[in-house]
Structure 1
């Protein structure tokens, strides 16, 4: 096992983590921006008005994208387990 293969494993893991976080957090960020713009335009300073839509969008994205993200993690774990003999030897 050389440094190049370790770097490949970590870079692929990092890419999967960034993909998972982006899929869940970016829609929530967009909704938060829209709600904040609405609050600034109407001068409503209610904390639950900004929190609840972001929470709902985050939960919805976890429900919608959850199977995709779990399959991506399972595929990565299977790839690592299958490649253990080649990585060690």
Structure 2
């Protein structure tokens, strides 16, 4: 599974993916992991993204897109004061 992901990320997105293995038990700060965890928290605030309501992966992907559109539109609509 990871092989296809790595090839796709390299060819389509022009990104290099680094898979970080957990080595020590307990809490260890990993680089940039907080960005992913924060994004998952934003997505999980939307009801349809918390449970597996969708039967097709494309529908679930669409719900994630809608949730992130809502998050970003609220962020852009904020006022400076």
Rg (Cα) greater in structure: 1
TM-score (norm. length: structure 2) = 0.37
Considering fraction of residues, name the structure with more helix. Answer: 1
TM-score (norm. length: structure 1) = 0.34
